[in-house]
Structure 1
Amino acid sequence: MSAPRRVLFVDDEQNILDSYRASLRKRFRVDTALGPEEGLEKVKSSGPYAVVVSDLKMPKMDGITFLNKIQEMSPDTVRIMLTGHANLDAAIAAVNKGAVFRFLTKPSPLDEMISTLKVAMKQYSLVVAEKELLRGTLRGSIKVLTDILSMVNPEAFGRSERVRRLAGYVGQNLNLKNTLYLDLAAMLCQLGCVTMTDTVLQKVFQGEELSAEERQIYDMHPFITKAMLSNIPRMEKVASIIQHQHDSLIDNPTQAVESRILKVCLDYDSLIQRQMEKQDAIDTLRLREGVYDVKIIDVLERGTAGEEGYVRREVALTDLRVGMVLDEALWSLDEVYIMVDGTEITEASLIRIHNFMKAKRLPDTVRVQVPVRQKVSDSD
């Protein structure tokens, strides 16, 4: 069962806060804060709140400014303004700035306050449900697509997995507020490659020269992915990120930050796959003036290029676990290409590996990167 939704009342008069708590505590889980500064601290330490109700006229910081700060700290929180002054200009300003969901005059009748809070709680639930759809159902659907890609085209899938880890590292260290779209775009950034021949893809991943026709085919794969994703609701932003993942910053200065991250990570991965040393790869990117967002390259150089939190081990195939990352390509004993190096082990890939193991067609061990939080029986 989900936790009860909470409401925070913020006012500079304690007796008013006490009144809210006494009259509403049987219907809602009520917290109070004496003034805007205490209110910000409560949201920071005890949030998120489903609803924040604030007085308009408060010392040091008015209600509009306060609720704008709440919006920055907790975008999903529904905000309600209360005032004893029937100030139409203030109400218009608050609504136009997106700071408030409702504007009530005070003292507000108890039944009006209760009905408004109920509506606000429903609004919060809708927002949360929308995000859960993206994080849960949609992510699960995308995972099905990438699992299929891993079987149809292990090289393209391996690249998307490597880039996903790089992009996740960069997004986290750039302090992006929402990395969901970046994560989904990285998962799907190579999906359009399923339309290409193995010959073209092998030349791309090995850094070989492409003919004009082959280059045109390869350059189309982000647009093909966009067309595929257009059939999935709420994937417009992800599709747009992928569409522009190969754009140079100098040609597209309004390029979304997620596309900029993918551009750097994809090109960095290409250099690494050509056996270039990490620092040499970073230096090569820096020499391409105007192509990349320099801040993103800085993040890659300061860190460990997305490998932070992993240790290298050679493990028995029977000890493979979800979350490990192949540190070498996996081939069967009769030279069937199973998985590319850099592939993150998933439930689907474990099933595939176990099926090959039953046919006694795989080696006994493989080199992997193991998350430091994960233990392996032969390396503890």
Structure 2
Amino acid sequence: MSQAILLFIDHDPAASAPLAQGLPEGVRLAHCTGYDQARRLLQGKHGVAVVVLELGLDGADAFALLEEMQQHSPSTVRMVLTASGVLADAVAAINRGRVWRYVARPCPLKELAGHLAEALRAHAADVQERKGARQRLLGGVKILVDIMELVTPEALDYSRRIRERVLATGRLLGVQPMSRLELAVTLSHVGCLALPGEIVTKMNTGQPLSPEEQQIFGMHPSIAANLLNNIDTLVPVARIIRHQSAPLHDGQPLESRIIKIALDVDRLENRGADAVKILESMRGKAKAYDQTVVDAMLRVTRKAEPVPVRKVGLAELREGMVMAEDLVNAEGVKLLLRGQRLSAASLARLAAFPKALGLREPILVLAPKGQDKGAARA
């Protein structure tokens, strides 16, 4: 179990050292004498529960560090130490960095220990509340995904096909928080719930759309954003989705740029083009695509190991398998696309009407490492 860190950022390590003896189990004391050193620690993998910061070290900007902590580590409880006469600085810190408590120096050790005990309890309560809020959020997202699975499973195919490429690109580019990008790609096509099912199906299977149908399909990001804006914690995700199909512009979130490129690659891949060649063709098109994202996605795609293909019968298909080629019926209609992940709904449809759909066996699926070979024998 990882330890919680109580971090002092001040000029005198000896002043806080006696506090180490009375800390609760699982909490350790750390010390930094400057803001840059503290930044490096805060960017690490350690969980910093409480920060006690002295203002004005080396004349540097403590407020900037407090604001960074507020943005990147909101559950960290922030306390400020300053001389008792410098009240204006303390007020500014509280206003700009959402400081939990201001402590005037000199402060008796026993009194400071009491403040720290309260701060640790506040941190534990905040972590628990955030955990509960996240569980409720994920529960709501699961409900939306389940509804999509029942009403318009084709809409989920988009996010499933691009998901790994989007997340790998986001990690390479240092997107933070990654959970926001993950939610955005998962819900990227939730607006399709409001569209006619035949339009979503035609778009997903690569069939041509009329100008009117294209206009209707193009509305789904705005529909999704308007829906998600009703949930406070999903407002940033709504903004990403709203801009995921928009032309490149300065105000477009990085996450939107990643999803946009992934969707364009997916669309051309479904027409038989190679992903690497598609991305290479996007180089130099700076007005259409963020070139930093193109380069990152190209690196991710080139690094991806080729996945072996297996031949399976209809009865051997399992949820989660990925199509290695388009599944086409006897009339040439695409039922499933290459790269599409099999869902419970698509499996049920194939199993219920195999003869009516005119399915031909064997069916080619991708067989990633670790897949149950018994369920996908050659």
Q: TM-score, normalised by structure 2?
A: 0.77
Structure 2: distance between partners of 1:151 and 1:341: 22
Q: How many angstroms does 1:207 deviate by? A: 5.2
Kindly indicate whether residue 255 of structure 2 is the aligned counterpart of residue 258 of structure 1.
yes
Kindly indicate whether residue 1 of structure 2 is the aligned counterpart of residue 31 of structure 1.
no
Q: How many angstroms does 1:254 deviate by? A: 1.0
Structure 2: distance between partners of 1:161 and 1:105: 54
Structure 1: distance between partners of 2:210 and 2:232: 36
Structure 2: distance between partners of 1:214 and 1:56: 60
Q: How many angstroms does 1:59 deviate by? A: 5.4
- Give the conservation status (yes or no) of the 8 Å contact 1:222–1:244: yes
Match for residue 275 of structure 1?
272
Helix, strand or coil at the partner of 1:172? helix
Structure 2: distance between partners of 1:44 and 1:130: 23
Match for residue 194 of structure 1?
193
Structure 2: distance between partners of 1:109 and 1:75: 28
Q: How many angstroms does 1:240 deviate by? A: 2.3
Match for residue 295 of structure 1?
292
Structure 1: distance between partners of 2:197 and 2:354: 27
One-letter code aligned to 1:213: E
One-letter code aligned to 1:121: L
Match for residue 327 of structure 1?
324
Match for residue 16 of structure 1?
15
Match for residue 314 of structure 1?
310
CA shift digits 1:2-48 (9 cap, x unpaired): 867442234433431222223x3258824132623765565456621
Q: How many angstroms does 1:248 deviate by? A: 0.4
Q: How many angstroms does 1:353 deviate by? A: 4.2
Aligned counterparts, 1:24-103, within 5 A: 24-26=22-24, 29-33=27-31, 35-36=33-34, 39=38, 42-43=41-42, 47-56=46-55, 58=57, 67=66, 74-84=73-83, 86-98=85-97, 100-103=99-102
CA shift digits 1:280-333 (9 cap, x unpaired): 42255446552222211121222217x836623316578877765343456899
Structure 2: distance between partners of 1:114 and 1:365: 70
Bigger Cα displacement from structure 2, 313-322 vs 28-37: 313-322
Aligned counterparts, 1:113-192, within 5 A: 113-125=112-124, 127-129=126-128, 131-133=130-132, 135-192=134-191
Q: How many angstroms does 1:183 deviate by? A: 1.5
- Give the conservation status (yes or no) of the 8 Å contact 1:323–1:371: no
- Give the conservation status (yes or no) of the 8 Å contact 2:325–2:365: yes
Q: Which runs of 5+ in 2 are unaligned?
A: none
Q: Which runs of 5+ in 1 are unaligned?
A: none
Helix, strand or coil at the partner of 1:213? helix
One-letter code aligned to 1:236: V
Aligned residues: percent identity? 30
> How big is the alpha-carbon RMSD for the aligned residues of Structure 1 and Structure 2?
4.2
